[in-house]
Structure 1
Amino acid sequence: MTALTRPSEGHVRKSAPPVRRSALQTAGVAALNAGAAMTAVYTLAVRPWHLRWGATRGEVRRPLPGDEFVPRPRMGSTRAVTVHVPRPRVWAWLVQIGQGRGGFHSSTRLERLFGLDIHNAEQIEPRLQTLRVGDFVRQAPERFGKEAGWRVARLEAPRTLVLLGGPPDAPVHSWAFVLDAPNNHITRLVMRSRFAYPLTPGNVLLWRVTEAAQFIMDRGMLLGLRRRAEGVGQSSVPADQAAAGEEPPRRPGNSQTAPGAETR
């Protein structure tokens, strides 16, 4: 056996002093951990919820008119609301949207904060009921740019409205509204947005920030449309049959599609 020897007093091993963090370092670590936790909660729970707010699983997975214009989106959302009136009445409010038209039925506070000069209509305007494929629907005043808005790519009253943003030959944003009618007295309004922005770290970060604001506006718009369409005394829809829940007669020009678009 090897004899155990006791170290001499001159060779006593000293333990390293404990590492002390400053209050600033401790706060920094705590902030990083909190940020990571909040990012995880947003990515795994909050973001999936608001991207499909109000929509059923079938509506989220279902192909909708307008998908063909942005077939490989970087970001997309499908949101929906049930409106307890016939769809011609909902359509009469929807077809008025746009800056300088009937507004977007959403948050006027946010719109005014960004200086968009949007005034949301509280009644149906006959002059705003004629919208055609190729028309430009402004998002903001012209001082924000001549192309600040969307062009009407598909229109089938009172069922489908598809707006496109970006170059006509390579749109980067599609905004589709589909009005389903479970019966003559209920409308299911489905809204879908698809974005095809270039994949860069800056764009990813930008869209993660702005998509929350987009949710606020989209939700406000859907609820605003429902409130106006269901409102008492707002039944003066161009289609005389709206109040009775009947569909308006189909007329030439009511169903329109941009050249080259698919028909679903």
Structure 2
Amino acid sequence: MALPGDNLAPGEPFWQMTVATTIDAPAEKVFPYFLQAGQDKAGFYSFDWLEASLGFGIHNTYTIKPEWQNLKAGDFCTFHKSGMGMRIHSVTPNRNILMITNGLEPNHPLPPGKWEMLWTPLFSLQKGNFVSWNWDFNLFPLENGQKTRVVVRCVAKAKGNPLAISIFKHAFALPSDVMDIEMLRRVKRLAEGTYPLN
């Protein structure tokens, strides 16, 4: 199915990940967990050992914090303790959060100490090359709003050195797939009130 972030960047995707789950809770109970995602907030509800081994500096929090519930377009979601992350493109309450990193639009203002992973020498904008990807969270109500279908998609597009694209795909995409699946599993248990995980 088409999702809001599919066409934010031009070109054909070299990698697309879609993961989904059905949660036995209304969207209003699910959405707050995604609103507070971030290295400097609640983390990403995924494998703590994997995040630690990659040096991300993430400490997952499994309770809703009111001070982290005001996410809006133009904010920044931090992934790594170095400040690397993605811009928030749009937020539709209880329905969608869309993040974007776009090497064709690199000049957006960012908070102090934050940065986007836009390119390497192999993805040089001077050569007309770019890398762009999104992270798209979608919530669809089911059964008169008593359940929620969560669909998370990441689409990566690039123009550049084929070797660089292949390295990016395997070094970045595979861990992202694994961590997104675990994130949805934990958010499901949290929203359904069956956390901690067994």
Normalising by the smaller structure, the TM-score range is 0.7 to 0.9
1:133 deviation in Å?
0.4
Q: Are the equivalent residues in 2 in contact too, given 1:197–1:203 (CA < 8 A)? A: no
Spell out, residue by residue over 1:34-83, the C-alpha distance to the aligned partner (whole angstroms, 9 max, x if none): xxxxxxxxxxxxxxxxxxxxxxxxxxxx1111112124322111110111
The residue that corresponds to 2:15 in the other structure is 75
The residue that corresponds to 1:224 in the other structure is 186
Say which structure is richer in strand. Answer: 2
1:212 deviation in Å?
2.5
- 1:168–1:84 Cα change, 3 Å: farther
Question: What is the alpha-carbon distance in structure 2 between the residues aligned to residue 163 and residue 99 of structure 1?
Answer: 15
1:211 deviation in Å?
2.8
* Aligned match for 1:110, one of 22, 33, 50: 50
1:203 deviation in Å?
2.5
Q: Which amino acid aligns with 1:205?
A: S
- In the superposition, the TM-score normalised over structure 2's length comes to 0.78
Unaligned segments of structure 2, at least 5 residues:
107-130
The residue that corresponds to 2:153 in the other structure is 192
The residue that corresponds to 2:123 in the other structure is none
Match status 1:169 vs 2:105: yes
Question: What is the alpha-carbon distance in structure 1 between the residues aligned to residue 25 and residue 193 of structure 2?
Answer: 10
Unaligned segments of structure 1, at least 5 residues:
1-61, 234-264
Q: Are the equivalent residues in 1 in contact too, given 2:9–2:102 (CA < 8 A)? A: no
1:182 deviation in Å?
1.4
Instruction: Quote the RMSD (CA, aligned, Å).
Output: 2.0
User: Counterparts in 2 of 1:116-135, with a 5 A limit?
Assistant: 116-135=56-75
Aligned length: 169
The residue that corresponds to 1:87 in the other structure is 27
Where do 4+ consecutive residues of structure 1 move more than 3 Å? none
Q: Which amino acid aligns with 2:86?
A: W
1:114 deviation in Å?
1.1
Q: Which amino acid aligns with 1:176?
A: D
* Aligned match for 2:76, one of 136, 158, 171: 136
* Aligned match for 2:175, one of 199, 209, 213: 213
Question: What is the alpha-carbon distance in structure 1 between the residues aligned to residue 174 and residue 81 of structure 2?
Answer: 23
Q: Are the equivalent residues in 2 in contact too, given 1:70–1:194 (CA < 8 A)? A: no
Q: Give the 3-state SS of the residue equivalent to 2:137 in structure 1.
A: strand
Q: Which amino acid aligns with 1:126?
A: P
Question: What is the alpha-carbon distance in structure 1 between the residues aligned to residue 140 and residue 97 of structure 2?
Answer: 12
- In the superposition, the TM-score normalised over structure 1's length comes to 0.60
Question: What is the alpha-carbon distance in structure 2 between the residues aligned to residue 95 and residue 208 of structure 1?
Answer: 28
- Aligned-residue sequence identity (percent) comes to 29
Spell out, residue by residue over 1:175-219, the C-alpha distance to the aligned partner (whole angstroms, 9 max, x if none): 101100012210000001011133433224311354322221111
The residue that corresponds to 1:202 in the other structure is 163
Q: Which amino acid aligns with 2:80?
A: A
Say which structure is richer in helix. Answer: 1
